[in-house]
Amino acid sequence: MSIERTLSIIKPDAVSAGKAGAILQHFEDKGLRVVASRKMTLSRSQALAFYAVHKERPFYESLVEFMTEGPVFVSVLEADSAVSYHREVMGATNPSDASDGTVRALYGSSIERNACHGSDSLENAQIEIGFFFSGAELLA
């Protein structure tokens, strides 16, 4: 195993429900160390750019609309094999398929409003982290 960093976004549904603190605590309780974090509201242009990988998919526009409807918490998490481990702690994309005790099972309500986003590969984690944080912010 090796120490990795991954990007985590607590989505607008969880933030508006007042669950961001509980979700961050859940990650920390599972051994994911918060290296950097900020609360922000994504602009439409930021959301379009961040989710551009989904541009050809039918859910792209609704995803952009959802991600810009309110504040999010964007965090860099660190742990052994952080990318895969964070995805395990989040649970399946569809909360109804997520294992008991995972973030999405606890706080998600639908496949889109599933409480959180996590990088799907180490390469994408590096790209996504760079999208939101400068190197100077990640010296921890």
C-beta neighbour count of 96 within 10 angstroms: 12
Where does the pLDDT of residue 83 fall: very low under 50, low under 70, confident under 90, or very high at 90 and above? Answer: very high
Q: How far is CA 48 from CA 7, 41, 63, in A?
A: 17, 13, 9
Topology adopted by domain 3-134: Alpha-Beta Plaits (3.30.70)
**pLDDT at 1 (0 to 100):** 67
* CA 120 to chain centroid: 10
Q: Looking at residues 64-82, what average pLDDT do you find?
A: 98
Among the listed residues 26, 54, 86, 117, the single catalytic one is 117
The sign of the dihedral angle between the CA atoms of 139, 44, 54, 117 is positive
Domain boundaries, the chain: 3-134
Share of the chain above pLDDT 70, in %: 98
Tell me: pLDDT of 140 over 90: no
117 given a catalytic annotation: yes
> Which tens digit of pLDDT belongs to each residue from 22-66?
999 999 999 999 999 999 999 999 999 999 989 999 999 999 999
**pLDDT at 34 (0 to 100):** 96
Q: How far apart are CA 43 and CA 124, in angstroms?
A: 21
Q: Looking at residues 97-122, what average pLDDT do you find?
A: 96
Tell me: pLDDT of 5 over 80: yes
Q: Looking at residues 95-124, what average pLDDT do you find?
A: 96
Q: Looking at residues 86-94, what average pLDDT do you find?
A: 97
Mean of all residue pLDDT scores within the chain: 95
Please name the residues in contact with 39: beta carbons below 8 A apart, sequence gap of 6 or more. 15, 20, 71, 72, 73
Share of the chain above pLDDT 90, in %: 92
The sign of the dihedral angle between the CA atoms of 32, 103, 24, 138 is positive
Q: Where are the beta strands (DSSP E) in 50-137?
A: 72-80, 116-118
Q: How far apart are CA 61 and CA 67, in angstroms?
A: 10
Q: How far apart are CA 110 and CA 122, in angstroms?
A: 26
**pLDDT at 18 (0 to 100):** 97
